[in-house]
Amino acid sequence: MKKILILILCFATINSLAAKKFMKPENAEFLRGVLRYIYFWHLDPAHFFEDDPDTNIEVYVKKNSYSKDLNNNSIRYELIIPDLNLGIDLVKANYKIRELDLQITNSSFKVVAVNPDFREPITNKNFQVRLLSEGKMMKKLFQSRYRPAVLSGCVKTNIYNSLVKLSKLELGHPLKKSHVFFVGPLSDYSNDIWIFWETERKLVRFSSASDYTSKAYWQLLPIYVKIYDLDSNVVVSLSEVSGSNAYITKSFAGRIMFNCIVEGKKIIIKNQDKITTKQETKK
């Protein structure tokens, strides 16, 4: 009972703190946060701003209709940054998976898709335009380029336990030797969790429409797990495997590994027997 109470308090505290930070996508501070996330995980040299302090970055913001399902109260926004040829989809989820009796919610808007080659003309008049100082933005991005990962107790425990289950499913047996994982920095602007499974030479992505601070996120795993083998699922260009989502590019794989190893947290799992024994001892 004590353990359950601690978990409930943990999730309640995290969610209440996140709720206080809620901002609409039109908010300049929110847009700067999204750009920092994109800078960290998606930008490459072709997308870079020129460091001109007198120039503004134009961000086009539009609220979209989401679903005709009356039980789906999710809200979707679209961001377009013409100077970078970037299209970004944001969602604040709010719906129920009836089959699992799970309520899927977000405390704030999350990046769910990034189009790094968005070149369509902006003709819709429903877009609002927000201007961000290019010079200040670039200075902020440079100053915040290194932020080591900090994993809270609850999230770290959930990642740890999920990796134990995932490794058993992937290998077909409990771990028989030490396995090394590197967990990349988490973001308030995405529910993706990237992990480099060094021992097996694989990249793992945990993802869900729900917040990673919620119980629903971890209850849905391993449904929302994607594994990329570095020896067979990496290509130079996605045009090589058009229509398939089983691959990532070499440049993106390198970025993930850098973020996980250099700025992430190292987790070593020895074997399931020791983990089970340790958990039983705590009880």
pLDDT for residue 68: 65
Q: Which residues of 96-121 are buried (b: 16+ CB within 10 A; e: fewer)?
A: eeeeeebebbbbbbbbbebebebeee
Residue ranges covered by each domain of the chain: 22-143, 153-282
Is the pLDDT reported for residue 22 higher than 70? no
pLDDT for residue 135: 81
Is the pLDDT reported for residue 12 higher than 60? no
pLDDT higher for 201 or 174? 201
Q: Which residue has tokens 């958990």? A: 279
Instruction: Please state the separation of Cα 130 from the chain's center in Å.
Output: 24
Is the pLDDT reported for residue 70 higher than 80? no
Rounded CA separation 129/132 (Å)? 10
pLDDT for residue 272: 62
Is the pLDDT reported for residue 144 higher than 60? yes
Task: Report, as an integer, the average pLDDT of 33-62.
Answer: 81
Q: Which of 207, 204, 195 is nearest to 228 (CA)?
A: 204
Question: At CB < 8 A and 24+ separation, what contacts does 139-143 make?
Answer: 140/32, 140/36, 141/35, 141/36, 141/39
CA distances 194 to 41, 125, 251, 258, 260, Å, are 10, 37, 15, 11, 7
Rounded CA separation 85/120 (Å)? 9
Does an H or E element contain 77, and which? strand 75-81
